[in-house]
Chain A
Amino acid sequence: MRSKFAIVTTALSMMIALVSCSKDPLANLTEEESRIYITNYDSTAQFSAYKTFSISDTVAVINNGQGSKQSNATDLAFVNAVKQNLQARGFTQVSRTSNPDLAVNVSRIYNTSAGVVRYNDYYDYYGNFYDPFYYGYGGFGYYSPYSYASYSVTEGALTIDLLDLKNARSSNRINVIFTGLIRGSGIFNSSTAGEQVKTIFDQSPYLKTL
């Protein structure tokens, strides 16, 4: 009887020990591994037709729909990394008053509500802080030819968007022709900003004017 009890309890203990060590996928991810980079572009856009771009040193901060502009060290690191990557792809930075072909917007998005980001929704807020007048196209609206749903949101995201100013007058709107979205842990870190922006560009080889 004692040996039976010992065998059964040993078997039970081993089973519980072996089964209970199930891996938690999230605990097995570093901050870098937790991040995802999603890019999308307007398939009708000819990127080689754009030569110049303008970018602000401030980023838009969208916090549950409330927008503001900010520029801290991390924001500047992202803006500078975007500049460098665009220049490496052959684009020339010009001032916003020099008729740039592209406007580049970098935004921080904080969304603590249910987990979907749709571009058409957040571009509705765009006019509040990136007034088309800023780029010399007062009265024009923003338009995104596509939208995408993202995953559940518990922290911030960063977006890098390219807007078509070159054809704004002929189309009577400012088309969004490229979007890069970074989500995950530890995004807003100046020491990894360059690496994160590089990942966005690395997976977007079409983004060039050379």
Chain B
Amino acid sequence: MKTIRIIGLLVVFATAVNFAVAQAPGRVTMKLNYNAAMPVGSLKNDYITNTSFRGAFGEIGYWFNPKVSLGLGVGYQSYYQKYGRQVYKLEDNQTVSAVLSNTLEVMPVTINGTYLPLGGSEAAVQPYVSVGAGLNIVNYRQYLGKFSDGKPNTAFTANAGAGVFIPVNKSKSTSIQLGASYSMTPYTKNGLTSLNNVGVNAGVIFPLK
């Protein structure tokens, strides 16, 4: 909620100050962002409650016009949580006492569309919304003590985000990016139903050509 308020203030600020346009049609840009992700839903309830501060994503995008781009993105997020020793009842009469370490690494490869409602204007801060969909490479690994189980697999993923670009150079071609996103990955394995998360990201967008 706080993030949304900050983004709202930046949008108001943007409309009050005049700057040049950031991205020209035909330009190819790269985004590099650090990302922190909070598990929600089944991922939080059934596996890991800790926020992951180990994540990043990058995207190469093509701008059709100053308002719309389409890009190919690759991300990475690593979750980890250790639970103290507990006794777990398994099948039949089997009981195991163990320290449980839950880990999850996801690497979404997505096609993303970004829309700048003020693109082409001279706003100092350019708000954006984005949507994306693709494949999530999921590495689920659960440790009982030092013994682990799990294997990588893939799942469909989709995301939606919003934020701002803040130009930082004279030509306004390079910007700082601040944003928030919701990522949805249905995942019906290992007792989970989804790997959804809410993320906040900060990084840069700059032209490649």
B56/A15 in contact, CB under 8 A: yes
In the complex, whether A114 has a CB less than 8 A from a CB of chain B is no
Residues of A within 8 A of B141 (CB): 25
Q: Which of B33, B34, B56, B80 contacts A23 (CB 8 A)?
A: B80
**Contact pick for A35, options B53, B143, B145, CB 8 Å:** B145
Residues of B in contact with A, size category: 35 or more
Q: Report which of B76, B203, B206 forms a contact with A4, defined as CB distance below 8 A.
A: B206
Contacts of A199 in B (CB 8 A): 97
When A7-B204, A15-B32 are in contact, do A26 and B146 touch as well, CB less than 8 Å? yes
B114 CB-CB contact with A under 8 Å: no
Contact A185 B146 (CB under 8 A): yes
| Interface range, A side | 35 or more
Q: Does B45 contact A (CB under 8 A)?
A: no
Interface residues of B (CB under 8 A from A): 32-34, 53-56, 76, 78, 80, 82, 85, 87, 92-99, 101, 103, 105, 141, 143-149, 168-169, 173-174, 176, 203-204, 206
- Sample of 12 more A-B contacts, CB < 8 Å, known A19-B55, A148-B94: A4-B169, A4-B173, A7-B176, A8-B32, A19-B54, A25-B103, A35-B145, A38-B96, A39-B94, A39-B96, A40-B93, A199-B97
Q: Which 8 A-B pairs have the closest CB atoms?
A: A151-B147, A34-B146, A36-B145, A25-B101, A37-B97, A33-B99, A15-B56, A36-B98
